[in-house]
Structure 1
Amino acid sequence: MEIFNHRLNNYIDSWMGPRDPRVRGWLLLDNYLPTVAFTIMYLMIVWMGPKYMRNRQPFSCRGILVLYNLALTFLSLYMFYELVTGVWQGGYNFFCQDTHSGGEADTRIIQVLWWYYFSKLIEFMDTFFFILRKNNHQITFLHIYHHSTMLNIWWFVMNWVPCGHSYFGATFNSFIHVLMYSYYGLSAVPAMRPYLWWKKYITQCQLIQFVLTMMQTSCAVVWPCGFPKGWLYFQISYMITLIIFFSNFYKQ
């Protein structure tokens, strides 16, 4: 396994180029194998979980759902606040921001974005709760695609472009997750459901997020500042897939 891990890292490094030394030694970032392993385990549970639960009674999970979703609400709020204030502190350029001119603000952004990356691992629990509660209709291709890809994408982001222009999508997404996880947490309490008016706006906000992220990313292509263009093209492409999938979900 160690040999495979070494070869995998060497292959990735030869393909991607030098990593950002500021994240060397950080939890889960030095080696890609753990992120891959977590993703494979996630997909295996997605495949086997509903089969295991088929002839079993669903679990309520109400208490833990409230705690889990509110914890993610506060984590998302923390990340949103730290990213906004960090960007302000560093005087980030909205149209294009490189990864080395922000000084101490870059370090602050990197630290918060590590938590953003790690939160994508925590969010695998979204699917596991669906399985335990037998809400299999919510385990869609879009859901699996989004959850499994985000963790992997952000492993690469953290190793090569852990600050600078990478901040925008994570900032907007953290804000959306404040809305989303607060809704999920409170909706686990039946008495609260009549007051949760923002449910119907969540998908709309997500679509707005993807469009604005794509537009802001495109700005760095038009007005370059040294941020790697390959990353920009990839993000634009990924946003297009999310716009397509979420639009289809919204129409349904």
Structure 2
Amino acid sequence: MSQTAVSIISKFYSFVELRTDERIKSYPLMQRPIGMNLILLTYVIFSKYIGPRLMANRKPFHLNTAMIVYNLSMVLLNAFIVYEFLMAGWATTYTWKCDLVDTSTTPQAYRMIRVCYMFYMSKYFELLDTVFFVLRKKQSQITFLHVFHHSFMPWTWWWGITLTPAGGMGCFHAMVNAVVHVIMYFYYLLSASGPRFQKYLWWKKYMTAIQLIQFVIVSAHISQYYFMEKCDYQIPMYIHLIWMYGTFFFLLFSNFWIQAYIKGKRLPSVEEMPKQNGSASKPIAVLANGKHMENGNGHHHTNGNFVMSKLVMGKVKEI
């Protein structure tokens, strides 16, 4: 590595350390980006290379019990995150308009910092989604976009809470996302719990609608920034990124909805579904948080990144 490159990296790290909010520095992984980058790099390498090679000559694991525990844990964690977001500002002091990052040292500010950090850490827990795919030899579901989404989210959030840990209007999308995750993981919990729970999954189609509503709410909220006479949000770049994210994914998910439910391009029939654990059930088309998921009972859950990979090519293919 040349001396110039070393100098640039050194200056960048100095800049990050100077800009890192003092209130978040004591939290694990928040001192510098090295730990975060190593974890995510390990995740990518394991997902695409090490994991598949380890499982190449092994039978897939049957992890229904582990998946039930995991899904239940994620439901409870995200429910708690939603509650803390509300109590830290969104149901107490925030206006839902131009809410600035709180730079004070009040208990309320620290509560918002803690819940933003908790949301950030939940993105690492979600990496287990991919681990389950690897151990169950569902490598075809680990697409480039799936891995990109799961690694990019915690990477971007590290920078977000490093510079603006006490939220403001820029953390609204996190609260909405946590609400969706409560619903999503509850759905997966029921789906992984066995045939006797399938009658409670009649609302499968509406998971896509819930995602669309999420993007509408997030985009509408953040769009206020462009129509306000004055809003001194500390890092406007985050506003622009959130708006682009919400709008882009709304368009992609809307196209999937049209193709799957209006034009009638359905998923494979029951007879075409691969059987697992001796049973096959009705296919389930679900869009949620960048995962194309399939549980141990033969249900397919089609989520954001899988669908996005198809839409980027200009069409939605049948799974």
Shorter-chain TM-score bucket reads: 0.7 to 0.9
Name the counterpart of 2:176: 172
CA contact (8 A) 1:77 1:174 kept: yes
1:226 aligns with 2:228: no
Asked if 2 retains the 8 angstrom alpha-carbon contact of 1:207 and 1:247, the reply is: yes
Counterpart mapping for 1:47-196 below 5 A:
47-48=48-49, 49-88=51-90, 90-100=92-102, 103-162=106-165, 163-190=167-194, 191-196=196-201
How many residue pairs match? The answer is 249
Deviation at 1:244, TM superposition (A): 4.8
CA 193–7 in structure 1, closer or farther in 2 if over 3 Å, else same? farther
Conserved 8 A contact 1:5-1:33? no
- Which runs of no fewer than 5 residues in structure 1 stay unpaired? none
Residue 55 to residue 200, structure 1, CA distance change in 2 (3 Å): farther
- The DSSP-based 3-state class of the residue aligned with 1:75 is helix
Deviation at 1:16, TM superposition (A): 9.7
Offset from partner CA, 1:45-85 (integer Å, 9 cap, x none): 22122344344321111111111110011000000111122
Aligned pairs for 1:177-216 (under 5 A) are: 177-190=181-194, 191-216=196-221
Q: State the structure with more CA Rg.
A: 2
Q: Distance in 2 between matches of 1:17 and 1:112?
A: 23
| Structure with the higher helix share, 1 or 2 | 1
Shift of 1:89: 5.5
Matched-pair contact (CA < 8 Å) for 1:29–1:155? yes
Structure-1-length-normalised TM-score: 0.87
2 CA distance for matches of 1:37 and 1:9? 18
Looking at structure 1, the residues matched to 134 and 253 of structure 2 have their Cα atoms a distance apart, in angstroms, of 21
Structure number with the bigger relative contact order (C-alpha 8 A, sep ≥ 6) is 1
CA distance in 1, matches of 2:7, 2:86: 37
- Residue type of the alignment partner of 1:187: S
What is the deviation of 1:18? 2.0
Cα 1:245–1:38 change in 2 (3 A) is: farther
TM-score normalised by structure 2 residue count: 0.70
Judged with a 3 Å threshold, the aligned counterparts in structure 2 of structure 1 residues 89 and 192 are, in CA distance, closer, same or farther, namely: closer
| Structure-1 separation of matches of 2:14 and 2:231 | 24
Per the alignment, residue 32 of structure 1 pairs with 33
The letter for the 1-side match of 2:32 is: N
Contact 1:90-1:106 within 8 A present in 2 as well: no
**Within 2, Cα distance between the matches of 1:145 and 1:178?**
22
% of aligned pairs identical? 33
Whether the 8 Å contact between 1:70 and 1:181 is mirrored in structure 2 is: yes
Letter in 1 for 2:71: N
Structure 2: distance between partners of 1:134 and 1:207: 31
* More displaced 10-residue stretch of structure 1: 158-167 or 169-178: 158-167
